[in-house]
Amino acid sequence: MNVQFEERGAVGVVTPQESMTADNVDSLRDQFVDWLGRTGGMTNVVVNLAKVDFMDSSGLGTLIALLKRVSERGGDLKIACLPKKVRMVFEITRAHKIFEIADSVDEAVKLSQ
């Protein structure tokens, strides 16, 4: 899975470039763990879902696993740019009650600082 990682000050922004399904979320998790290990002091993360047009239960499970990993470091994981179709999946699974969701990456970064 193609994932972009960038650092905006003390906040990391993760941008998956395609759908998050059972076929590819293992790769996302591995890359995320790798990247988090390399950025020692980073605690807060924003996941930008603008390019994710579909997410299944495995994708949601991975996001929750990432949230847990970030929380263990004392940080927080926020979601930005949730497309309407993915938002519907968040709503029916109640994931929107677990994550803090922002309309844009900038807003999510500001909330994380």
Partner 1 sequence: MKAVFHTGLIQSWTASLGDIPWPLLPVGNRPFLEYWFEVCIDLGIKDVRLILGEGAEFVEAYAREGAPWGLSITYSFLKEGRSPDSFLRRSPNVWEDGLFYLCAPVFLYRLSDSGEVPRFRGGTFVHQGQDGAVNGLLSDNPEFLRTFIANPEAAPAASSFEMLKFRPSRINSVKEYFDLNMSVVGPEAKHYLRPGYSVKDDVSIGFNVILPPSVTITPPVAIGNNCRLGAMTSVGPLAVVGNHTIIDRQTELSECVILDGTYVGSGLEIRGKIVVGNRLIDPGSGVVAEIDDPLLVAPVRSVVQWGDVLRAVFGWLCAVLFVLSQAVPFAVLYPLVKVSRKGRFRKTSVHLGRGRVGPLFEFVPCPGRISGLANLFQALNLDLFPGFCRVLTGQIWLCGVKPVRSPEEDSLRRQVREYFPGVIVIDTDERDYAEPGGHLAHALFYARFRSLFSDVRMVLTLIFSRPLKFLSAREPIKG
- Where in 39-68 is the site for partner 1 (CB under 8 A)? 54, 56-58
Give the helix/strand (H/E) hosting 6. Answer: strand 3-8
Identified binder of partner 1 from the candidate list 9, 27, 85, 103, rule CB under 8 A? 85
Count of residues interacting with partner 1 (CB under 8 A): 14
- Of 110, 109, 113, 111, nearest to 15 (Cα)? 109
Q: What's the Rg (C-alpha) of the chain?
A: 13
Q: Does 38 sit near partner 1 (CB under 8 A)?
A: no
Identified binder of partner 1 from the candidate list 5, 18, 21, 98, rule CB under 8 A? 21
C-alpha 6/C-alpha 18 separation (Å) is: 17
Q: Does 92 sit near partner 1 (CB under 8 A)?
A: yes
The 8-class DSSP code of residue 96 comes to G
Q: Does 93 sit near partner 1 (CB under 8 A)?
A: yes
Supply φ then ψ for residue 14, to 5 degrees.
-110, 125
* Identity of the residue, 85 or 110, whose beta carbon is nearer to partner 1 in the bound complex: 85
Structure tokens at 88: 């519907």
| Chain residues that interact with partner 1, rule: CB under 8 A | 21, 54, 56-58, 84-86, 88-89, 91-94
